[in-house]
Chain A
Amino acid sequence: DQQVKQNSPSLSVQEGRISILNCDYTNSMFDYFLWYKKYPAEGPTFLISISSIKDKNEDGRFTVFLNKSAKHLSLHIVPSQPGDSAVYFCAARDSSNTGKLIFGQGTTLQVKP
């Protein structure tokens, strides 16, 4: 039972354009969400996060939006750069079991020069 779903396995965008990565969740007890980025042969690294009390968090070219009613969050990258090409994982924290994160399957982003 996937509580965090990234339904698009892959996404390809042109350099300079916007990349939008989506994530859906089912558990209303999730209160904190994170995005991680992973390059080949490396471990995931933290990118950006958002608390459930907010609907937007911005950090440079990266913005995460949270729509609690739809149980949906998205990561926007503007402008996209070839170095952004990686696998992006969405993760969520369960407020009733705060020690763990639930990760999605990941979306592979390719930014073409």
Chain B
Amino acid sequence: DAGVIQSPRHEVTEMGQEVTLRCKPISGHNSLFWYRQTMMRGLELLIYFNNNVPIDDSGMPEDRFSAKMPNASFSTLKIQPSEPRDSAVYFCASSFGQGVMVAKNIQYFGAGTRLSVL
């Protein structure tokens, strides 16, 4: 399997622009996670889906952030409008399992998208 695929790998944009990050989870996995990595806070969970349904979006910073999972093989994280403080590396991860089993079933991460908002 190709693993979790994220695109783009790098994104440079100007403040106020819309940014869309994409993720293709591992085939057969039914949970998908979006994380943001910063020096100060490490890896923060933004939102996760189980069977394409958002389960916990308490980590989404504000209304400028939105995430969708229209089907089992694709998810997007959108920032509109983007701000310089959104600059970070964004990771997508997937796993197989549900409920109590999700975390015990290891999360597999993509290579990340490095976002720079000027």
Partner of A44, one of B31, B101, B109: B109
Contact with A along B65-94 (1 / 0, CB 8 A): 000000000000000000000000001010
Give, as a whole number of angstroms, the nearest-CB distance from A30 to chain B.
10
Q: How far is the CB of A44 from chain B (nearest CB, A)?
A: 5
Asked if B18 CB lies within 8 Å of chain A CBs, one says no
Pair B91/A103 contact, Cβ less than 8 Å = no
> A residues touching B (Cβ–Cβ < 8 Å)?
2, 6, 32, 34, 36, 41-46, 49, 89, 91, 93, 97-106
Q: Which residues of A contact B44 (CB under 8 A)?
A: 103
The answer to whether B56 has its CB under 8 Å from any CB of chain A is yes
Contact indicator A43/B91 (Cβ below 8 Å) = yes
Bound state CA distance, A44 and B112, in angstroms?
A: 9
Residue B2 interfacial (CB < 8 Å): no
| Dominant secondary structure at the A interface | strand
**Residue of A whose beta carbon sits closest to that of B45:** A100
- Can you list 29 A-B pairs, Cβ within 8 angstroms, ordered by A? A2-B41, A34-B103, A42-B112, A43-B93, A43-B108, A43-B109, A44-B91, A45-B108, A46-B106, A46-B108, A49-B106, A93-B103, A97-B56, A98-B100, A98-B101, A98-B103, A99-B48, A99-B50, A99-B55, A99-B102, A99-B103, A100-B56, A101-B45, A101-B107, A103-B42, A103-B45, A105-B40, A105-B41, A105-B42
Residue with the highest number of chain B CB atoms closer than 10 Å, among A89, A93, A99, A102: A99
CA distance A104 to B39 in the complex (A): 11
| A98 pairs with B109, CB closer than 8 A | no
CB distance A43 to B4 under 8 Å? yes
Whether the Cβ atoms of B103 and A32 lie closer than 8 Å is yes
Q: Could you tell me the distance in whole angstroms from the C-beta of B22 to the nearest C-beta in chain A?
A: 15
How far is the CB of B41 from the nearest CB of chain A, in Å? 6
Give min CB distance, A94 to chain B, whole Å: 9
Contact B41–A32 (Cβ < 8 Å): no
Within the complex, which residue of A43, A98, A102, A104 is in contact with B102, where a contact is CB–CB below 8 Å? A98
Residue of B nearest to A94 (CB): B103
- Which residues of A are found within 8 Å of B4, using beta-carbon distances? 43
B15 at the interface (CB under 8 A from A): no
- Return A9 CB to nearest CB of chain B, in Å: 9
